[in-house]
Amino acid sequence: MSQTMRTFGLFAFVALLIVGTGFVQSWNSALLILNMGLVSAVMALGVNLQWGFAGLFNVGVMGFVALGGLAAVIISMPPVREAWAVGGLGVMAALALGVATIALAVWLTRAMPKGRMRAVVMLAVLVVGFVAYRALFDPATDAIQKVNPALTGYLGGLGLPIVLAWPVGGLLAAGAAWVIGKTALGLRSDYLAIATLGIAEIIIAVLKNEDWLARGVKNVIGLPRPVPFEIDLQQDPGFIDRATGLGFDVTTASTLYVKLLYGAMFAAVLIVVLVLAQLALHSPWGRMMRAIRDNEVAARAMGKDVTRRHLQIFVLGSAVCGMAGAMMTTLDGQLTPASYQPLRYTFLIWVMVIVGGSGNNFGAVLGGFLIWFLWVQVEPIGAAVMDLVTAGMADGSALKTHLQNSVAQMRLLTMGVILLVVLRFAPRGLLPER
Amino acid sequence: MELLNAFVVLANFVLIPAIAYGSQLALGALGVTLIYGILRFSNFAHGDTMAFGTMVTILFTWLLQSWGVSLGPLPTALLALPFGILGCMALVLLTDRAVYRFYRAQKVKPVMLVIVSMGVMFVYNGLVRFIIGVDDQRFADGERFIISVRTFKAMTGLDEGLAIRTTQGLTVATAVVTVAVLFWFLNRTRTGKSMRAYSDNEDLALLSGISPERVVMITWLIVAALATIAGTLYGLDKTFKPFTYFQLLLPIFASAIVGGLGSPLGAIAGGFVIAFSEVGITYAWKKVAGYLMPEGLEPDGLLQLLGTDYKFAVSFVILVIVLLVRPTGLFKGKSV
């Protein structure tokens, strides 16, 4: 079977799974899976860019996804004028001072000769900078957080359309990736892994604790939407006419319509990213990337700046993840920093890329849909299996209750087994790189 | 007096907790560093290996408690620990047989093994959550304190109290014994020497007739024991929650890298460096400074450099600094 046939067949199979969900469960759940599948596919493309093209081991996907979510809040929420009045200037000044301190320290490292003198001056600059920063920062954030803490207590956003947050989320993630790449790339691959793992945890810690930025664990809810609200559609006579004309119940029709709109927007983004990734893969640049991945020494000998190229693709891939994160937050309509878990937002994306086929863009997209489908459906399937297993046991026995309550944990186990089986028997994934 | 009081506060809130936490990190980092030295990959499943061993220990603790067995002032978990270690050993040996051996035979790139360990991590994590659930489990029993604040104040007549919890004393004692046994094994026994030889130069070790499979098996056994001990001590000292163990991965890796991957001595040093910086930077120094500063100059603020939620940031920053300044770590580790 040729690769094209195989690609086509596997995509048809996944489409069948999702359509099957529509018939067996409900069309709403099928569309939910489809929408998150689209977002997951974009994330998987981002990781594939880094791992599949360049062999960079980034386990900080969660952090970049969360930065995208932050962008959604910053762009779309209305600004809280009172908070800006009491502390906006202070926070901005403090942040500027922080950046200036670090810039000065970096400049000193370059400008001064190595030795004890440099260490002392550096330390002095950093300590003075930190104290001054805290002196400006703390009162400003306190003031901001006191502004109507039940509803706002943060600076708010820019009040722009939320779709703008998608590219901005990409930019934010790219900025973070540049900083981390500058320090960790060029070292061993394990070090990049640990460094990205760390930066992701730090980004989540910042989102959880800096209430002035996006309310921390109090969450920002009710983000503006790029699509109409269901409730408005249900009262729109034109929509009611069309829905009943097609033989739908108005409530169902409105939920489906909204999800379809989201789906169309996400699909557009996915297609653009996929086309660009495909073009990149088959361009001289893509061939160079893969050549660097396969033999760094030879690439160096040919005069390629390996570290620079790695930084380039690391930033690009992270930007794609950040964009997907902004899309996801748009779909959820809220930013809940406590819900970001590395197993779900970093390692699951990795499972998608590996199972789909690293180095193959279609493979990553396929993995995104397939693994997301399984992630959602393992729970009901597991519950059914567990009912069967425990059918013979006495009702109310401790083991039976325990087993039935543990079904929710089946997901991780299943994902691990799938990853291990694929790595063992099809190490190049379902759609291998050509 | 002021100076003594300041020291007691410092010991109570910084030194003792950091020494206990550092011992736990050191034991964890030893496991990571041994796997790195012998099997040559960064084991992402280490946190969950710790969680699994601890879980088995907890289950046996409950069993013993239900039989009415106890160690008096010491926690029952100490009696259950050997069973936990055996359970964990069985698990890792099974994993090695079923998963890692295949890739070892193929001599795949280390990064491939890291990805495989990601799959193992998922499975372990799922297993632990499946068996014991995701909630906090407290399993410490016996005497709570070696010295409580009240008795310390009565003994010394100082204003400030010093409390040493049984679990903290136990952590340090167990860690010292474990590390002593480990170093004796690595430096004095034939098997230990063959392990170090294998870690230094695989080909030469093979030429001198060392069986690689045996070295790998013994490594896994030691790692299982270390992981279970580290996990149980951490669980006794704080609480057991599967997700926390997964998060321990970052400080543990930071400790191993700061010390120099592949160097056991470095892992211990790294563990304490990370623990002291984490506790020191997130501690509010107001009280200590209050005793040390002259009258009238006491600080108003908390003197806390960073909130406790940023402790990950601390291990991360130290990690980055070490990577930039000295990529092989404090003690020269491997740099593959």
Minimum distance, in Å, between the CA of residue A264 and any CA atom of chain B: 33
Percentage above 70 pLDDT, chain A: 100
Residue A430 lies in a domain: no
Neighbours of B190 (CB within 10 A): 8
Q: What is the dihedral of CA A62, A63, A66, A68, to 10 degrees?
A: -110
Are A409 and B253 inside 8 Å of each other by CB? no
- From B135, which residue of chain A is nearest by alpha-carbon distance? A406
Say if CB A40 and CB A372 are below 8 A apart. yes
Q: Which residues of A touch B116 (CB under 8 A)?
A: 420, 423
Final residue before a domain boundary, out of A155, A181, A216? A155
Which of A29-33, B73-77, B154-158 comes out lowest in average pLDDT? B154-158
Percentage above 70 pLDDT, chain B: 96
pLDDT of residue B298: 65
pLDDT of residue B174: 94
Residue B301 lies in a domain: no
Report how many Cβ contacts below 8 Å link chain A to chain B: 128
Residue A27 lies in a domain: yes
Percentage above 90 pLDDT, chain B: 50
Residue B305 lies in a domain: no
Residue B267 lies in a domain: no
Domain that includes residue B111, residue range: 2-240
Q: Which of B102, B122, B254 sits opposite A419 (nearest CB)?
A: B122
Segments of chain A scoring below 70 in pLDDT: 1
Neighbours of B324 (CB within 10 A): 12
Return the bridge partners of A128, or none: none
For residues B274 and B254, what is the distance between their CA atoms, to the nearest angstrom? 7
Are B320 and A184 inside 8 Å of each other by CB? yes
Final residue before a domain boundary, out of A132, A155, A178? A155
Count, residues in chain A: 434
For residues A251 and A232, what is the distance between their CA atoms, to the nearest angstrom? 11
Minimum distance, in Å, between the CA of residue B226 and any CA atom of chain A: 21
pLDDT digits (tens, 9 = 90+) for A304-341: 999 999 999 999 999 999 999 999 999 999 999 999 99
Tokens of A358: 């690293």
pLDDT of residue B158: 81
What's the CATH code of the domain at A241? 1.10.3470
Residue B44 lies in a domain: yes
User: A295 in contact with B at a CB cutoff of 8 Å?
Assistant: no
Q: Which residues of A touch B253 (CB under 8 A)?
A: 194, 197
pLDDT digits (tens, 9 = 90+) for B284-305: 887 788 787 776 666 666 777 7
Higher pLDDT, A356 or B202: A356
Same domain, A146 and A165: no
The C-alpha angle with vertex B334 and arms to B332 and B336, in degrees rounded to 5, equals: 145
Chain centroid, CA A104 distance in Å: 33
Q: What is the dihedral of CA A375, A377, A379, A382, to 10 degrees?
A: -120
pLDDT of residue B201: 87
B264-277 average pLDDT score: 93
pLDDT of residue B269: 93
pLDDT of residue A171: 96
Q: Which residues of B touch A343 (CB under 8 A)?
A: 122, 125, 246
Residue B198 lies in a domain: yes
Same domain, A54 and A135: no
**Interface pTM, i.e. ipTM:** 0.89
Q: Which residues of A touch B130 (CB under 8 A)?
A: 406, 409-410, 413
Confidence of residue B147 (pLDDT cuts 50, 70, 90): confident
Same domain, A35 and A171: yes
pLDDT of residue B283: 86
Say if CB A326 and CB A68 are below 8 A apart. yes
Higher pLDDT, B239 or A41: A41
First to last CA, chain B: 53
Query: Which residue blocks in A185-305 are alpha helix, DSSP H?
Result: 189-209, 211-214, 230-235, 237-245, 250-281, 284-294, 296-301
Which of A396-410, B202-216, B232-246 comes out lowest in average pLDDT? A396-410
Are B123 and A420 inside 8 Å of each other by CB? yes
**Residue B87: pLDDT above 90?**
yes
User: A57 in contact with B at a CB cutoff of 8 Å?
Assistant: yes
Task: Indicate the pTM of the whole model.
Answer: 0.92
Q: Provide CB contacts within 8 A for A286, sequence distance 6+.
A: A53, A280
Residue B114 lies in a domain: yes
For residues A33 and B288, what is the distance between their CA atoms, to the nearest angstrom? 55
Q: Which of A187, A198, A415 sits opposite B250 (nearest CB)?
A: A198
Count Cβ atoms within 10 A of the Cβ of residue A31 and give its class: 0-12 exposed, 13-18 middle, 19 or more buried. buried
Same domain, A163 and A250: yes
For residues B230 and A245, what is the distance between their CA atoms, to the nearest angstrom? 67
Distances (CA, A) of B234 to A265, B229, B244, B245: 48, 8, 10, 9
Say if CB B103 and CB B30 are below 8 A apart. no
Same domain, A149 and A170: no
pLDDT of residue B333: 65
For residues B268 and B256, what is the distance between their CA atoms, to the nearest angstrom? 8
Q: Which residues of A touch B313 (CB under 8 A)?
A: 202, 205
Minimum distance, in Å, between the CA of residue B111 and any CA atom of chain A: 8
Residue B313 lies in a domain: no
Same domain, A210 and A353: yes
User: A264 in contact with B at a CB cutoff of 8 Å?
Assistant: no
For residues B155 and B163, what is the distance between their CA atoms, to the nearest angstrom? 12
For residues B215 and B221, what is the distance between their CA atoms, to the nearest angstrom? 10
Count, residues in chain B: 336
From the list B227, B231, B250, B226, the residue with the least C-alpha distance to B241 is: B231
Are B119 and A208 inside 8 Å of each other by CB? no
Same domain, A208 and A174: yes
Domain that includes residue A372, residue range: 3-79+156-425
Minimum distance, in Å, between the CA of residue B6 and any CA atom of chain A: 23
Same domain, A344 and A285: yes
Confidence of residue B155 (pLDDT cuts 50, 70, 90): confident
Residue A110 lies in a domain: yes
User: A401 in contact with B at a CB cutoff of 8 Å?
Assistant: no
Query: Which residue blocks in A282-360 are alpha helix, DSSP H?
Result: 284-294, 296-301, 306-332, 342, 348-356
Confidence of residue B227 (pLDDT cuts 50, 70, 90): very high
Q: How many folded domains does chain A comprise?
A: 2
Q: Which of A57, A406, A420 sits opposite B119 (nearest CB)?
A: A420
Give the 3-state secondary structure of residue A295: coil
Same domain, A145 and A235: no
Final residue before a domain boundary, out of A155, A183, A212? A155
Are B114 and A184 inside 8 Å of each other by CB? no
Same domain, A166 and A244: yes
pLDDT of residue A400: 80
pLDDT digits (tens, 9 = 90+) for A24-74: 999 999 999 999 999 999 999 999 999 999 999 999 999 999 999 999 999
Phi, psi of A20 (to 5 degrees): -60, -40
For residues B313 and B303, what is the distance between their CA atoms, to the nearest angstrom? 18
Residue A431 lies in a domain: no
pLDDT digits (tens, 9 = 90+) for B123-132: 999 999 989 8
Confidence of residue B268 (pLDDT cuts 50, 70, 90): very high
Q: How many folded domains does chain B comprise?
A: 1
From the list A182, A333, A340, A360, the residue with the least C-alpha distance to A278 is: A360
pLDDT of residue B336: 42
Q: Which residues of B touch A194 (CB under 8 A)?
A: 42, 250, 253-254, 257, 319
pLDDT digits (tens, 9 = 90+) for B11-68: 888 999 999 999 999 999 999 999 999 998 999 999 999 999 999 999 999 999 999 8
Q: Which of B114, B250, B320 sits opposite A190 (nearest CB)?
A: B114
Residue B279 lies in a domain: no
pLDDT digits (tens, 9 = 90+) for A267-282: 999 999 999 999 999 9
Minimum distance, in Å, between the CA of residue A186 and any CA atom of chain B: 11
Same domain, A136 and A164: no
Are B115 and A205 inside 8 Å of each other by CB? no
Are A423 and B122 inside 8 Å of each other by CB? no
- From B336, which residue of chain A is nearest by alpha-carbon distance? A188
**Residue B335: pLDDT above 60?**
no
Q: Which of B118, B130, B315 sits opposite A413 (nearest CB)?
A: B130
Residue A36 lies in a domain: yes
